[in-house]
């Protein structure tokens, strides 16, 4: 892992400014977001923006951060600073990770593989998406020593669930992040307005097309639908591709899932299981009761239920309910070091960076991903120190007030 401090980043940036050079990505993330959306094709722009309904949840995710305000303390000797932490047995250079974001190939030909390459030198973990554009094994190889997790959607095929989990174990993932909030696709008005769903074009289904169980299911389907088709013919290849996309839409999610199904997942793996999409304190308590290893507070970046509670508003009650029995992660709306600090002050152990790393990927590929991570790391380090904390253990509820 490359050594990194906020002051190095600042001095490099200001120093290069003397030669007329600007940073690879603007630290003004609103500007970065605008530039990235301007560069994207219409389908990608709509899918990544992608709020459900009127996008009120997307707005709540941002606005509610501002309901909490940091109260900096002075004269605390913050000369020796440490942003690192350890969560779920995993060392992290700062208390954040990259969220699972599907179909990254829409903005960069190397998609999630480029994200993995960008995260690798930083020591910031990356959660590979179930809807990745590259198989988890290739992303895992690109991560080197930097930890990774695998995000799972509960498929209608248990054999497929099992296969994904075994593959994640085999390629060195440090945990399974089971996303609970997408047992059905949300009412994504922007995508429907332009009648666009990337999966139907065969995008974002690489975990499936690289999976022996899924390929077997596709072959069975073809044998039923086209019993006379020769496996060696060019037509078979074409039909195989189409059938992958169709079968994926039929089986990728499962709205019959209940808490009792978690026992099946527990039986498949000894890896930690983290439940993503928890917003209610009683669900957090159930997660503990059902033997889960971590809770991940998230509303999927406002893509599933419009008019929903923001993640930052849901966090305090969940932290209280969990009573430190298992770690609590959160995402949805993280856009700077102050947000990371506030979430930690409210009891999160680490937070997820979502859309911004996709904007960085759009504008500058793998290098952009490294850069956006460095910017958040530097911003967090300075926020922490200037608020009077030397390390993450010193950040607590007394560091912020509710305004």
Ligand X SMILES: Cc1cc2nc3c(=O)[nH]c(=O)nc-3n(C[C@H](O)[C@H](O)[C@H](O)COP(=O)(O)O)c2cc1C
Sole binder of ligand X in the list 95, 123, 186, 301 (CB under 6 A): 301
Please choose, from the candidates 299, 331, 54, the residue with its C-alpha nearest in 3D space to the C-alpha of residue 187: 54
Shortest approach of ligand X to residue 376 CB, angstroms? Answer: 12
Residue partners of 223: CB distance under 8 A and separation at least 6: none
H helices of 50-124, in order, are: 56-63, 111-119
Task: Point out the catalytic residue in the list 49, 108, 148, 300.
Answer: 300
Q: Is 247 in the site for ligand X (CB under 6 A)?
A: no
Give the integer Cα–Cα distance in Å for 264 and 158.
9
Closest to ligand X by CB, 283 or 331:
331
Binding segment for ligand X (CB under 6 A), chosen from 256-264, 284-292, 325-333, 394-402, is 325-333
148 or 303: CB nearest ligand X: 303
**Contact present, 171 and 144 (Cβ < 8 Å):** no
Active site residue 300: yes
Q: Find the helix or strand (DSSP H, E) in which 137 lies.
A: helix 136-143
User: Residues near 189 by Cβ (< 8 Å), separated by ≥ 6?
Assistant: 51, 52, 53, 54
By the 8 A CB rule, do 159 and 166 touch?
A: no
Adjacent-strand bridge partners of 295: 275, 328
Binding to ligand X by residue 179, rule CB under 6 A? yes
Joined together, the tokens standing for residue 65 give 């951060």
Of 70 and 104, which CB lies nearer to ligand X in the complex structure? 104
Q: Is 331 in the site for ligand X (CB under 6 A)?
A: yes
Closest separation in Å from C-beta 91 to ligand X:
22
Rounded CA-CA distance 273/165 in Å is 10
**Mask: binding to ligand X, 137-176, rule CB under 6 A, as x and -?**
--------------x-------------------------
Part of the chain binding ligand X (CB under 6 A), chosen from 19-27, 96-104, 160-168, 376-384: 96-104
What H or E segment, with its residue span, contains residue 350? strand 350-353
Cα radius of gyration rounded to whole Å, the chain: 21
* 289 to 128, 284, 292: CA distances (angstroms): 27, 9, 8
Backbone φ and ψ for 121, nearest 5 degrees, come out as -75, -5
Min dist CB 335 to ligand X, Å, is 7
Q: Count interface residues toward ligand X (CB under 6 A).
A: 25
355 is an interface residue for ligand X by CB under 6 A = yes
| 374 binds ligand X per the rule CB under 6 A | no
Written as six digits, the tokens of 246 are 């169709």
> Any contact of residue 100 with ligand X (CB under 6 A)?
yes
Mark residues 11-40: x for contact with ligand X by CB under 6 A, - for none.
------------------------------
Which CB atom, from 57 or from 385, has the smaller least distance to ligand X?
A: 57
Stretch that binds ligand X, among 78-86, 221-229, 296-304, 315-323 (CB under 6 A): 296-304
| Residues classed as catalytic | 300
Q: Which residues bind ligand X (CB under 6 A)?
A: 47-48, 50, 61, 99-102, 129-131, 151, 179, 276, 298, 300-301, 303, 331-334, 352, 354-355
């Amino acid at each position: 892992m490359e050594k990194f401090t906020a002051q190095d980043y600042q001095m490099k940036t200001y120093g290069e400014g003397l030669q007329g050079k600007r940073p690879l990505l603007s630290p003004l993330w609103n500007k970065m977001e605008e530039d990235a959306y301007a560069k994207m094709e219409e389908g990608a722009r709509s899918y990544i923006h992608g709020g459900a309904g009127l996008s009120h949840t997307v707005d709540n995710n941002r606005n509610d951060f501002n309901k909490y305000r940091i109260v900096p303390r002075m004269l605390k000797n913050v000369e020796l600073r440490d942003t690192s932490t350890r969560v779920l047995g995993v060392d992290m250079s700062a208390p954040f990770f990259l969220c699972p974001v599907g179909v990254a190939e829409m903005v960069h030909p190397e998609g999630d593989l480029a994200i993995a390459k960008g995260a690798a030198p930083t020591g910031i973990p990356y959660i590979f998406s179930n809807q990745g554009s590259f198989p988890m094994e290739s992303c895992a190889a690109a991560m080197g020593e930097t930890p990774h997790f695998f995000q799972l959607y509960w498929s209608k095929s248990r054999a497929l669930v099992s296969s994904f989990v075994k593959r994640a174990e085999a390629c060195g993932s440090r945990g399974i992040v089971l996303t609970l909030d997408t047992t059905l696709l949300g009412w994504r008005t922007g995508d429907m307005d332009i009648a666009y769903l990337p999966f139907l074009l065969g995008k974002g289904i690489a975990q499936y097309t690289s999976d022996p169980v899924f390929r077997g299911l596709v072959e069975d389907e073809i044998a039923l639908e086209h019993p006379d088709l020769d496996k060696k013919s060019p037509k078979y290849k074409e039909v195989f591709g189409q059938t992958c996309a169709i079968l994926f839409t039929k089986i990728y999610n499962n709205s019959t899932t209940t808490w009792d199904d978690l026992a099946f997942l527990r039986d498949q793996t000894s890896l930690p299981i983290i439940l993503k999409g928890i917003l209610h304190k009683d669900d957090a308590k159930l997660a503990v009761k059902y033997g889960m290893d971590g809770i991940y507070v998230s509303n999927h970046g406002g893509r599933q239920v419009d008019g929903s509670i923001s993640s930052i508003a849901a966090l305090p009650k969940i932290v209280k309910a969990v009573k430190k029995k298992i770690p609590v992660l959160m995402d949805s709306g993280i856009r700077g070091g102050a947000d990371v600090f506030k979430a930690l002050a409210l009891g999160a152990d680490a937070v997820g960076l979502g859309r911004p790393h996709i904007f960085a990927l759009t504008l500058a590929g793998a290098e952009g991903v490294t850069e956006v991570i460095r910017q958040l790391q530097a911003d967090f380090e300075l926020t922490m120190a200037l608020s009077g904390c030397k390390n993450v253990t010193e950040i607590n509820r007394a560091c912020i007030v509710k305004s």
